């Protein structure tokens, strides 16, 4: 090929040597590297590299290299896997519950076309998510029926909308909680058009407060477990079992929002209520999240009386808050598979944790210090989980976060703390290597 006139003229503007967009897009190396990216994304990367060359930030000869490196470092989705070294098990900022291997496989299998709403035997349409429903009922035989929706907040929205309409939701003033990031459950309920009928006080609510509020306009009685804080001292609340009689007599459904998702009691969290007990005590519907202590995907789980669940499932809002096939697959596999990572982390043996922590501390030149783990946003407010951490220099927190793997730690009293509770032991090698490389990358 003959040289272009621009190239033969040394005085020409170097910007004229910037390769053309169509040439770059057609370049075999660019095409091979960008298999998993859309043409628009590749075009944007190409344009950004050309712009850098135009501004003189890179020589025109480096444009191709710049594009290849931008494409190579860019996965199709920006969410990155993180090693959670905080010791906080259900960490909302880190995606709450990590899925079990069984649940990951189920998500993979359901990712394409799948029989989520189809009966392969008869060829007819079938009930959506029948497998997840069956797994829930098997795991919680106290429930007559189950419905899975998008998340716990959606479950609460659906229950109050379908049961109360524009009527009243009777609720204790001690349970008007904010669940994080500024979301307040009373605001959520009020947004449905239902009216809150608050009873009792912040610290004490009695049965008579509830019974005095029941009347013609009552849509439902709602009990909310205050999962993220605790009121201690001069307190009194009304048990679910005490409320059942008056609610039945008034023909008013009793809804219990437990949040945490414990289907059965957990010995390590004696203060944490479970779904089975609430149903045995007479709740008509119990609400729980899928990605807290249940250890599954984001989901809102409604368990309870068949007629009440049917009312919820029939409501138009149910369609707007339904669970997607990936969540249904992961939920079923979480319920039928082995112990999920969340419960593994909760039940870590402090002795074994200590040994792992000591080994890592020795390898990376840190100290072992006592460090309590926490359940986090999933419940068990204020319950310390005895454990340990490797204490490192606090200026390692940023390079560890920005490294590969990304590691999120806690900085306390000038130490960067690495808590192994929520990290599988199989990752210890990578963790040690990451600490070494974080040290090396410091200025």
Ligand X SMILES: *Cc1c(COP(=O)(O)O)cnc(C)c1O
Binding site for ligand X (CB under 6 A): 151-153, 156, 179, 224-225, 227, 257, 259, 289, 300
Closest approach of Cβ 258 to ligand X, in Å?
Answer: 6
Question: Which residue lies nearer to ligand X by CB, 291 or 415?
Answer: 291
Contacts of 21 (CB under 8 A, 6+ apart): 43, 46, 47, 50
Closest approach of Cβ 334 to ligand X, in Å?
Answer: 14
Partner residues linked to 388 by β-bridges: 370
Question: Which residue lies nearer to ligand X by CB, 179 or 364?
Answer: 179
Question: Which residue lies nearer to ligand X by CB, 225 or 322?
Answer: 225
Burial of 35 (0-12, 13-18, 19+ CB in 10 A): exposed
Closest approach of Cβ 63 to ligand X, in Å?
Answer: 46
Closest approach of Cβ 179 to ligand X, in Å?
Answer: 5
Question: Which residue lies nearer to ligand X by CB, 225 or 371?
Answer: 225
- Mapped onto helix, strand or coil, the DSSP state of residue 180 is strand
Closest approach of Cβ 207 to ligand X, in Å?
Answer: 21
Closest approach of Cβ 67 to ligand X, in Å?
Answer: 41
Question: Which residue lies nearer to ligand X by CB, 279 or 431?
Answer: 279
CA distances from 86 to 96, 353, 411 (A): 13, 14, 9
Q: What is the DSSP pairing of strand 254-259 with strand 218-224?
A: parallel
Closest approach of Cβ 14 to ligand X, in Å?
Answer: 55
Q: For residue 357, which of 302, 409, 420 has the smallest C-alpha distance?
A: 420
Question: Which residue lies nearer to ligand X by CB, 70 or 188?
Answer: 188
Contacts of 240 (CB under 8 A, 6+ apart): 223, 254, 256, 278, 281, 282, 283
Q: For residue 415, which of 369, 361, 355 has the smallest C-alpha distance?
A: 369
How far apart are alpha carbons 88 and 422 in whole angstroms? 7
Partner residues linked to 289 by β-bridges: 300
Q: For residue 392, which of 372, 374, 419 has the smallest C-alpha distance?
A: 419
Question: Which residue lies nearer to ligand X by CB, 131 or 296?
Answer: 296
CB atoms near residue 215 (< 10 Å): 12
């Amino acid at each position: 090929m003959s040289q272009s006139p621009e190239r033969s003229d040394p005085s020409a503007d170097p910007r004229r040597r910037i390769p053309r967009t169509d040439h770059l897009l057609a370049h075999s190396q660019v095409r091979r590297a960008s298999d998993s990216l859309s043409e628009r994304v590749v075009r944007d990367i190409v344009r950004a590299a050309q712009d850098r060359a135009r501004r003189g930030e890179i020589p025109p000869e480096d444009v191709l290299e710049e594009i290849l490196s931008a494409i190579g470092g860019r996965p199709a989705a920006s969410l990155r896997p993180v090693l959670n070294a905080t010791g906080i098990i259900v960490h909302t900022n880190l995606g709450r519950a990590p899925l079990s291997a069984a649940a990951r496989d189920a998500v993979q299998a359901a990712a394409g076309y799948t029989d989520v709403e189809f009966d392969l035997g008869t060829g007819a349409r079938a009930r959506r998510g029948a497998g997840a429903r069956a797994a829930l009922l098997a795991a919680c035989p106290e429930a007559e029926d189950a419905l899975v929706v998008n998340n716990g907040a959606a479950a609460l929205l659906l229950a109050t909308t379908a049961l109360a309409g524009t009527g009243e939701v009777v609720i204790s003033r001690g349970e008007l909680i904010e669940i994080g990031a500024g979301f307040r459950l009373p605001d959520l309920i009020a947004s449905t058009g239902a009216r809150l009928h608050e009873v009792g006080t912040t610290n004490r609510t009695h049965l008579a407060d509830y019974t005095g509020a029941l009347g013609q306009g009552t849509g439902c009685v709602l009990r909310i477990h205050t999962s993220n804080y605790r009121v201690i001292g001069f307190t009194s609340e009304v048990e679910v079992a005490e409320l059942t009689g008056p609610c039945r007599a008034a023909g008013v459904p009793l809804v219990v929002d437990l949040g945490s998702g414990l289907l059965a009691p957990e010995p390590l969290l004696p203060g944490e209520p479970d779904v089975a007990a609430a149903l045995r005590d007479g709740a008509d519907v119990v609400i729980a999240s899928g990605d807290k202590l249940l250890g599954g995907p984001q989901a809102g789980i409604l368990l309870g009386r068949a007629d009440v669940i049917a009312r919820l499932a029939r409501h138009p809002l149910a369609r707007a808050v339904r669970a997607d096939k990936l969540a249904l697959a992961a939920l079923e596999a979480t319920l039928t598979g082995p112990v999920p990572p969340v419960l593994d982390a909760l039940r870590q043996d402090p002795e074994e944790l200590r040994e792992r922590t000591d080994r890592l501390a020795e390898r990376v030149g840190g100290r072992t210090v006592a460090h309590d783990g926490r359940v986090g946003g999933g419940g068990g407010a204020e319950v310390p989980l005895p454990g340990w951490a490797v204490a490192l220099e606090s200026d390692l927190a940023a390079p560890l976060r920005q490294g590969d793997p990304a590691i999120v730690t806690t900085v306390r009293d000038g130490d960067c703390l690495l808590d192994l509770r929520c990290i599988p032991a199989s990752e210890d090698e990578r963790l040690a290597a990451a600490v070494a490389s974080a040290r090396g990358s410091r200025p």
